Amino acid sequence: GSVIGILGGGQLGRMLSVAASRLGYKTHIYEPGANPPAADVAHAVTTAPYEDAAALRAFAGAVDVITYEFENIPTSALDLLESLKPIRPNRRALAASQDRLVEKAFLNDLGLATAPFAAVDDLEDLREALAEIGTPAILKTRRFGYDGKGQVLIESTDQAEAALAELNGAPAILEGFVDFFKEISVIGARGLDGSISCYDPGQNKHEGGILRTTTVPAAITDMQRTDAVLLAAKILTKLDYVGVMGVELFVTRDQLIVNEIAPRVHNTGHWTQAGCTVDQFEQHIRAITGWTLGDGARYADVEMTNLIGEDVERVPQLARESRNQIHLYGKAEVKPGRKMGHVNHVF
């Protein structure tokens, strides 16, 4: 049996470990923080910072292939690991998704539409960007943002200075506000042999920047569905990608606009656990270990709801209702905005 190394020990690493275990693999988690959710179900855990070269070397020595559950791994750690074991998805996928500016330029080069954007390093940049893009607009940190963190909505130009101050001098990007009808995402996978399998797009609802629900099927036309899948396939192929990727899209009156890409299993793909024979976690493990990709056909309508913070108190009630598949991440401490678990309701 081979060992799969996973960088990051959150709930995604936990669910990847369960899927790996089912296919006969062991997982080894590398996570700087204490008591990560993945530690309960992984076969080995290294608790060390990404700057610890000796720990990284030992980790690489103990595994056969390295993957990750979050995209903000320091470059120096990746350089070292890559010299020792294959990293899948590859570095190009990480480079294209770690920085919102690089990401949008990459997508535009591929011929895909994004929100209008401009790099913002100081107030002068921001004033110029606002003059060009207009309001409303969203100022976002280029790196490290998730769950809507590191973002400020700018409704009029006189808010520029305050918005910039909120980001504490971090390199930023200004994005034009996209007036979308709905948000959807494609969870796509590409195998070592270059074959591609995409799940049916899900429709996503966010509250306060955090994903609340994903529903399949999405209320989109056949043409939009086909366009979304082809667009995801184009990204996967261009990056010579191996593994599962999440592609977040805005649906507007006349086009699909790419919001962002995530080079990993994705919260909006959790519905596949209840809607498909092979879910996104198994699909990712299959891809990075060189298996044939599994059948991603959807055989049920599903609504996935995140259990955020105190929502977790609803679990006893949710467990009494039929057609609910409940997932809890084993996090001891409940915090506002913290993803504690999710429920897949099958229709």
Binding positions for ATP are 100, 140, 145-151, 175-178, 183, 206, 259-260
Q: Which residues pair with 185 in a beta bridge?
A: 202, 248
Least gap, CB of 83 to Mg ion (angstroms) = 28
Which option in ligand ATP, Mg ion, none does residue 115 bind, with CB closer than 5 to 8 A by kind?
Answer: ligand ATP
What is the closest distance, in whole angstroms, from the C-beta atom of residue 138 to Mg ion in the complex?
12
Q: Which residues of this protein are in contact with ligand ATP, per CB under 6 A? A: 115, 138, 145-149, 175, 177-178, 183, 206, 209, 248, 259-260
Residues across the chain: 347
Q: Is the dihedral of CA 118, 260, 9, 331 positive or negative?
A: positive
CA-based end-to-end distance of the chain: 38
- For ligand ATP, the nearest residue by Cβ is 178
- Our CB check for Mg ion shows the closer of 5 and 8 to be 8
Tell the smallest beta-carbon distance from residue 169 to Mg ion (Å): 21
Answer with the entry of Mg ion, ligand ATP, none that 93 interacts with (C-beta below 5 to 8 A by kind).
Answer: none
Which residues partner with 119 through β-bridges? 173
What is the smallest separation between the CB atom of 254 and Mg ion, expressed in angstroms?
22
Nearer of residues 25 and 250 to ligand ATP, judged by Cβ: 250
Q: Which tokens go with 276?
A: 């498909």
Judged by CB, which is closer to ligand ATP: 179, or 222?
179
**Which partner, Mg ion, ligand ATP, none, binds residue 183 by CB below 5 to 8 Å per kind?**
ligand ATP
One-letter amino acid of 57:
R
Of 297, 243, 315, residue with least CA distance to 89: 243
In the bound state with ligand ATP, the residue whose beta carbon lies nearer, of 174 and 278, is 174
Annotated binding-site ranges? 100, 140, 145-151, 175-178, 183, 206, 259-260
| Nearest-approach distance from CB 72 to ligand ATP, in angstroms | 11
Considering the complex, what minimum distance in angstroms separates the CB of residue 81 from ligand ATP? 23
Residues whose CB falls within 8 Å of the CB of residue 223, separated by 6 or more in sequence, listed in order: none
One-letter amino acid of 230: L
Nearest in space to 15 (alpha carbons), one of 294, 332, 315, 244: 244
DSSP code string of 68-79: ESSS---HHHHH
Q: Which amino acid is at 149?
A: K
Q: Which does 347 bind (CB under 5 to 8 A by kind): Mg ion, ligand ATP, none?
A: none
Nearer to ligand ATP, 82 or 260 (CB): 260
For residue 219, give the amino acid letter.
Answer: A
- Chain positions contacting Mg ion, by CB under 5 A: 248, 260
CB of 94 to ligand ATP, least distance (A): 14
Q: What contacts 24+ positions apart, CB below 8 Å, involve 225-230? A: 225/200, 225/201, 227/256, 228/184, 228/186, 228/201, 228/256, 229/186, 229/188, 229/198, 229/201
Q: Which is nearer to Mg ion, 200 or 248 (CB)?
A: 248
Q: CA-to-CA distance for 246 and 92, rounded, in angstroms? A: 15
**Which of the listed partners (ligand ATP, Mg ion, none) does 206 bind, with a CB threshold of 5 to 8 Å by partner kind?**
ligand ATP
**Which CB sits closer to Mg ion, 41 or 101?**
101
